[in-house]
Structure 1
Amino acid sequence: MAREHPAIPVLDLSGTPRQIGAAHGEDQRTRIQECVDRFLSWIYSGAAVTVDQQSLWAKWSPQVSFNEQVAPQLMAEMREIARGANVPFERLFLLNSMLDVLSFRYLPMAQNFGCTTFAVATDADTGATLIGQTYDMPELLQDSLLMLRIKPEQGPRQLVFTFAGIVGACGMNEAGIGVCINYLSPLDVGVGKLHSVVVRQILAAQNLADALVAPVVPPRAGGAHYLVAGQTGEIISIESTGRQYETFFPDGNAIGHTNHYLGSAVKHLEFVREGSIGSSLARYTALRRYFREHDADLNLRSLQQLTRNHTSYPSSICAHGQDSDPTGKRGRTLSAMVHVLAEGTTHITSGCACENEFHPVAL
């Protein structure tokens, strides 16, 4: 099985959190600097009110001490990424807050965050459990895709999809635990765990029970949907707000999610974003229809085909953004992926799946 990807760098990291972070930062220095610059420039230029790094950091800096308390090892890793990349820690921390910082409602750019997640308990051909997603973000981040193959000093090995400089966006581990995510926008956000921290805490778990602690214990800095699966077919869908959560389970063999709340217990906490809600509802409808029509043949190939779905194009599962979006800021599918948990393999594209091939990367 392939250890590398033709278009996405795959970085092998091992050791202590500080060693892992230092190697990440040093190896990806130029790409991290570019990713930080592009992301923060996009934040500052897109805000509905005047905002710069000083004013944003004044509001966001309380997140640091809290995350130091609940995730000291991951914070040590971030600090070493910043040092190795020669990037101020404040800027690197803001980058690792990529989804959470958009909870500020004067930052209206979240219409570009349109991931679609899905999981199948039993592959129709092999019996394997599959979990995957499209990762839809502004196209200015296309050149920042990165995969981390991590062998920590303690805990399971991990295969992590992320962006240069960020500790984690989704992935799987050698214990057969996988996690995929959707951005959600709740009203009750505040100081809490970063999304990137939650992802890595899930992937540090040796079993599903331990993996489910991180996404449900509050507080969280932002809202997200965490789709978590184990290699023997257990799947749980977790909608989280800053303080609350609600769980769902497959009705049959498959389950999926987009970017709006489904649960009655948390729906009242949703901040409905006019620029993205239509796409989210349309993609969820297309997702459910695909599951119904392909119920008997849901497998690796059919899930890869799902990521090419153009219902409600260009605001589709395979997202292509609006022609009216400024150059570089168009929200589109930067990567599509399916994790085969028992194999420890991620099949992944660089760019939209309708234009690019899936390539396997092994844990």
Structure 2
Amino acid sequence: MHRTSGIAFPVVRVTGPPAERGRQYGIQARDGIRRSLSAYERVFEHYAGWDWATVRRHAARFAPIVDDFSPALLAEMRGIADGAGVEPDDVLALNTRSEIMFAASGQKEGAPPIPHECTSFALLPHRSATHTTVIGQNWDWLLHAQETSTLLEVTRDDGPSFVTLVEAGLLAKVGMNEAGVGLCTNTLVSDGDEGRPGVPYHVLLRAALDSESARAAADVISFADRALSANYLLADDTGFAVDLETAPRADGVRRLTPRDGQITHANHFRCTDLIGEDLYARRKPHTVARLRNVTESLNAVSSLSVDDLRTALADHRDHPSSVCQHPNETVHVRERTATIAGVIMDVSRRTMHLAAGRPCVARWETRHLAPKPRTP
């Protein structure tokens, strides 16, 4: 019997200038933000032996970097803190948790490997049944994210309005905007990732959703002084799609373009000349199997419907490290990961299909954004 997950993500709707929409976000997501802070306090203690005061001190290093990159985003984070009744460095710590985890884990003898997953794809119009540009992924992460994830809908006048699925308190993750830009992402881990000061990963994700085209988003990410390695999959309603594999150095960008009308990605570098050693692939070689499996699923159908894509994201081949990931009961509870959500976005139609929980059992919901009026 097919069982349906009863999970549903709360929706937060905000508007206005940066500080005000941040304050609205903080008020509406207060409980989720505080749960996020408690969860990451436990995560950092487990992975690095750091207390929260130490985490906040490291997060504070990024404030001037974010302010230099985008003062509006720093103002928005401070607004989130104000609305949630927490300290600004708490919200900064959430938005730099990836950078801090790399810095912290490298200082603890025998620290467990940092958990990162995700499997993503993009389709050009001739590969989709609707003849539109489609982009999507499974987002896999630590189990507490199932309780803190929030769908953030932002309406504004200072850039494109957007919708993004986030852990409460984060600026952005996977999402799309009214200009027709879609964003998916996969964490990459190279031997150059040390938590160095630079523009944080989640700030760059938000910068992509602030962009008027996928090309513009790719340029923002490419020219930024990035703190970490990461993969950014971008597409827009012009039929353009590109995948950026990045490392934290000036020349650390490689662009992957569609092959047979599609791009697929997991958590390893496909451009091996970009880094010295792929630490994720060494620690978790199942990333190669996930990439193979999602690519085979897409290749099996010449014109892919949303139902076909839902099936691809529910794939259990190579369980427990499958595209649709279930918690591995053999590892420590703090290290267990699972698919937190499946996301499929038709950026041409500004439509998001969202499964809260594992796609094999989750109920898919559909949300719409109004297209941004084109300037004559």
TM-score by length of 2: 0.89
Report the Cα offset of residue 145 of structure 1.
1.2
Contact in 1 for aligned 2:14/2:153 (Cα 8 Å): yes
Structure 2 counterparts to residues 212-227 of structure 1, below 5 A: 212-227=218-233
Match runs of 1:322-333 below 5 Å? 322-327=328-333, 329-333=335-339
2:207 partner SS: helix
Q: Distance in 1 between matches of 2:59 and 2:247?
A: 18
Distance 1:305 1:170, change over 3 A: same
Distance 1:132 1:79 in 2: 30
Same amino acid, percent of matched pairs: 25
Alignment check: 8 A CA contact 1:226 1:238 kept: yes
2:289 pairs, out of 270, 282, 289, with 282
Q: Distance in 2 between matches of 1:160 and 1:176?
A: 13
CA shift at 1:150, angstroms? 0.8
Q: Residues 137 and 342 of structure 1: is their aligned pair in 2 closer, same or farther, counting only changes over 3 Å?
A: same
Q: Once the two structures are superposed, what CA deviation does each residue of 1:172-206 show, in whole Å capped at 9, x if it has no partner?
A: 01111001000111233411111111111111111
1:346 touches 1:360 (CA, 8 Å); kept in 2? Answer: yes
Which of 102, 126, 149 is equivalent to 2:153?
149
What corresponds to 2:372 in structure 1? none
Give unmatched runs, 5+ long, in structure 1: none
Residue number among 246, 251, 269 corresponding to 1:261 in the alignment: 269
The DSSP-based 3-state class of the residue aligned with 2:279 is coil
Name the counterpart of 1:16: 17
Task: Assess, with a 3 A threshold, how the Cα gap between structure 1 residues 109 and 67 changes in structure 2: closer, same or farther.
Answer: farther
For 1:273 and 1:57, locate their aligned partners in 2 and report how far apart those are by CA, in whole Å.
30
Alignment match, 2:8: 7
Contact 1:309 1:316 (8 Å CA) reproduced: yes
Equivalent residues of 2:143, 2:338 under 8 A apart? yes
The equivalent of 1:54 in structure 2 is 53
Q: Secondary structure at the match of 1:74?
A: helix
Alpha-carbon distance between aligned partners in 2 of 1:307 and 1:43, rounded to the nearest angstrom? 30
Alpha-carbon deviation of 1:140?
1.4
In structure 2, the partner of 1:293 is 300
Please tell me the root mean square deviation across aligned C-alpha atoms, in Å.
1.9
Distance 1:16 1:257 in 2: 35
Is 1:235 equivalent to 2:248 in the alignment? Answer: no
Q: Give the structure 2 partner of residue 92 of structure 1.
A: 91
Q: Does structure 1 residue 78 correspond to structure 2 residue 77?
A: yes
**Contact preservation (8 Å) 1:102, 1:110:** no
Offset at residue 74 of structure 1 (A): 0.8
* Alignment-mate amino acid for residue 94 of structure 2: L
The SS at the match of 1:19 is: helix
> Equivalents in 2 of 1:45, 1:160: separation in Å?
29
Q: 1:23 to 1:263 in 2, by over 3 A?
A: same
The Cα of 1:155 is off from its aligned counterpart by: 1.3
Corresponding residue for 2:162?
Answer: 158
SS at match of 2:224: coil
Gaps of 5+ in 2: 1-5, 370-376
CA distances 1:227-276 after superposition (whole Å, capped 9, x unpaired)? 0001122110000111111110111111111111111331325334654x
**How many pairs were matched up?**
355
Return the TM-score normalized by structure 1.
0.92
Distance 2:319 2:7 in 1: 28
Partner of 1:248: 256
Q: Distance in 2 between matches of 1:205 and 1:148?
A: 17
Distance 1:231 1:317, change over 3 A: same
Per the TM alignment, residue 58 of structure 1 is displaced from its structure 2 partner at its CA by 3.9
3-state DSSP class of the match of 2:276?
helix
Q: Offset at 1:20?
A: 0.8
Secondary structure at the residue paired with 1:91? helix
**Taking structure 1 as reference, are residues 188 and 267 closer, same or farther at Cα in structure 2, changes over 3 Å only?**
closer
